[in-house]
A and B are shown apart, each in its own frame.
Chain A
Amino acid sequence: MDIKNILFSLSGANNAFYVSEASDIAYDILSKYAKTQKKSGLTVIGEIKGESDYTIMLDAHIDEVSFVVTNIDENGFLTVNKAGGIDIRALAAKTVTIHGKEKVTGVFCSTPPHLASGEVEYDDISKIKIDTMLGKKAKDIISVGDIVTYNTKPFELGNLVAGKSFDDRAGVVCLLELAERLSNKKLPCNVVFSLCDSEELGCRGSRTATFSVNPDEAIAIDVSFGDGPNISPDECGKVSSGAMVGIAPVLDEKISDKLIKLAKENNIPYQCEVMGDRTGTDCDVISITREGVKTGLLSIPLRNMHTDAEVLDIADIKSVCDILESYILSGGIKDV
């Protein structure tokens, strides 16, 4: 699988609420390797059967941070609400796609120079309007409740890549690659790929998806903070330095230990990410679904999280995939 190309097509596609472009792409690919179905919302679930009843669920969320239109004024300017943890300081003069009756390009207003007055408080997104460039015609095409997404096209950045929604299409493409690798192998257990909705709204999609899959154990694949200027090394991982293995009170220690062991044995680049509380990922709800699920976390280090220019290294996605492959082939913690 050409991981970069698939990541770019998933990144350029939009996926929020009723817009399911990325889910449709992922469904088409996953269907080649696994028995796949579309579930409620944007969730896509595929299963490859193994030689036992033991089921490992692998989770990556397929939604993205976005906006929802709450008002349209007479001159074609939109007020929007955030759907996810958007950095509203990074919106001025950014172009977006408005998913109305047709797709419309809009641009977040920036402050005209003569009206700039000292330090601005970025505490309320309703102060930052979107110019639809449609004037009075906006109301014919756009309605309250319509979704607005970033529209940045992904691009290569030296040895890295940049684009929107790598959080968590990087996890999605990792699982698609894994599905391809596992599809012609004998597996000691069932593997379910859960590409789920609404992580950015509080891990909602994984709650119902996990209930439905009812796995014996689970690993979530997400992105985490990569290194950068002004970021202390103790609060981030290092881009291009391999998979981040999560260690946290809410995660299963056996899973974390085995992931590290396999990375070491197979010379797969990895780094530990230790959290003192919950993880801020789907793990937090997967692990308390039904009677509880033993859960692990693998993350891909990423810069500029939740902006339209997230940056990561494809090699780190491969490292995560490599660890997962050996983890699945060794049966997870079934016999540990």
Chain B
Amino acid sequence: MFEILRELCCLDATSGNEDAVKNYIIEKIAPYCEYRVDNLGNIIAFKKGEKTPEKRLVIDAHMDEVGLIITSVTDGGFLKFKTVGGIDTAVLMSRKVMINGEIPGVITAKPIHLLEKEEAKKLPKADSLCIDIGANSKDAAQEKISLGDRAVIASDYIEAGDKILSKALDDRIGCAVLITLLKEDSEYDFYATFSVQEEVGLRGARTAVFAVNPDSAIVVEATTAADIADVPSEKRVCVQGEGAVISFMDNATVYDRKYYNAALNSGIKCQPKSAVAGGNNSGAIHLNREGVRTVSVSVPCRYIHSASSVADKGDIKSVLDMVRELKNGILGGKYD
């Protein structure tokens, strides 16, 4: 699974432009399940198990990642951009980016030496940042790129002890977990959706879940871990090394309480998400048609939405174990 995760993280797939990840996933899962791709680009997979359950379950992970979209070119040949998904301006400063997966750029700003003292203490306005691609004129830049081209913040994939540091752990971890489950034999039939456009408003999951029309859903995600220096324990949300994170509520969803309790009582290493913060595809999924019983299982992830997000391998294993356990429990009618 970790080799798959590494390969997934090294692919670029900003929201609405998920082809690279989509094609990779299809190649991996094709021998093990039926699948189709819907109009938005969601992969909807069906895994035939030993038994066909009465209820229908979907397990979801999103393929897209936060990134940048090129909006204009200045006379000097610098690229203006908007963020795709929520990115803190601080993690954009002097960053290497990759445009269309092949053209490197650097996010440039006025050096602090040339700023007034008070100005130097504040981040520049996001819309004042530009990408430098080493083109010395507007024409030279436009030969290389087009408006609407996408960029991601470049990163290395680093494994250090139990930790993994990379861009896009949110939510390639979820994708790697789903691929792993589809490759295994399953007791019950189930559906898996690899969805698009999560970072721009939970959009892909809405159409994918309409198509599947499930009774229950498990959303596999990465969530903010604020277990870092200078953050008091009540604000940490979750802690790395303490296992899968199970949500009772976030800004988009109130989760199914029976599933929540079942997860916490499963004996698999886990922790409640101790904050009402963020949101994920559950927000779209649980409101599908007449409603879907939904549970969210997440990996605690530090520095999420940056090029250096950090996750713990043990937590990722716990998430895989938990999703498998809940899948079998839900489809076996254990929590009805």
Contact = CB atoms under 8 A, between A and B. Distances in A.
B189 to A, nearest CB: 37
Contacts of A305: 111, 113
B268 interface: no
Give the interface centre of A93, A115, A134 by most chain B CB atoms within 10 Å: A93
A309 B228 contact: no
B22 interface: no
B134 interface: yes
A240 B134 CA distance: 10
B303 A159 contact: no
Contact of B94 (A75, A114, A155, A309): A309
A91 B112 CA distance: 13
B108 A304 contact: yes
A244 B308 CA distance: 37
Contact of A159 (B123, B136, B237): B136
Interface string A61-98: 00000000000010101000000010101111111000
A326 interface: no
A311 B111 contact: no
A279 interface: no
Interface residues of B, number: 65
Contact of B229 (A73, A93, A308): A73
A109 B278 CA distance: 19
A160 interface: yes
A29 B126 CA distance: 43
Interface string A174-210: 0000000000000000000000000000000000000
Contact of B88 (A92, A123, A304): A92
Chain A, interface size: which category? 35 or more
B135 interface: yes
Nearest to B160: A133
A308 B158 contact: no
B31 to A, nearest CB: 36
B135 A158 contact: yes
Contacts of B54: none
B76 interface: yes
Given A92-B90, A110-B90, A303 B108 contact: yes
B93 A92 contact: yes
Contact of B228 (A109, A225, A228, A307): A109
B71 interface: no
B231 A115 contact: yes
B96 A309 contact: yes
B161 interface: yes
Contacts of B106: 157, 162, 303-304, 309, 311
A77 B231 CA distance: 12
A131 to B, nearest CB: 6
Interface in B97-151: 103-114, 120-124, 128, 130, 132-136, 140, 144
Contacts of B130: 228-229
Interface in A3-24: none
Interface in A118-162: 119-123, 127, 129, 131, 133-135, 137, 152, 155-160, 162
A105 interface: yes
Q: For chain A, what secondary structure do more than half of its interface residues adopt (helix, strand, loop), or is it mixed? A: loop
A235 interface: yes
Given A85-B113, A94-B308, A110 B88 contact: yes
B306 to A, nearest CB: 3
Contacts of A228: 76, 78, 108-110, 130, 132
Give the interface centre of B130, B144, B302, B305 by most chain A CB atoms within 10 Å: B302
A107 B303 CA distance: 9
B302 A309 contact: no
A75 to B, nearest CB: 7
A114 B122 contact: no
B324 interface: no
Interface string B212-254: 0000000000001111111100010100010000000000000
A157 B105 contact: yes
Contact of A89 (B90, B161, B228): B90
B76 A112 contact: no
A160 B104 CA distance: 11
A227 interface: yes
A93 B308 contact: yes
A115 B88 contact: no
B307 interface: yes
B305 A303 contact: no
A1 interface: no
11 contacts: A75-B227, A75-B229, A91-B93, A92-B90, A107-B165, A114-B224, A120-B122, A158-B134, A225-B114, A228-B108, A303-B132
Task: Please provide the 9 A-B residue pairs with the shortest distance between their CB atoms, ordered closest to farther.
Answer: A158-B134, A93-B306, A307-B94, A90-B93, A77-B229, A160-B134, A129-B229, A92-B90, A157-B134
Interface of A: 73, 75, 77, 85, 87, 89-95, 104-105, 107, 109-116, 119-123, 127, 129, 131, 133-135, 137, 152, 155-160, 162, 225, 227-231, 235-236, 239-240, 280, 303-309, 311
Interface of B: 74, 76, 78, 86, 88, 90-91, 93-96, 103-114, 120-124, 128, 130, 132-136, 140, 144, 156, 158, 160-161, 163, 165, 224-231, 235, 237, 241, 275, 277-278, 302-308, 310
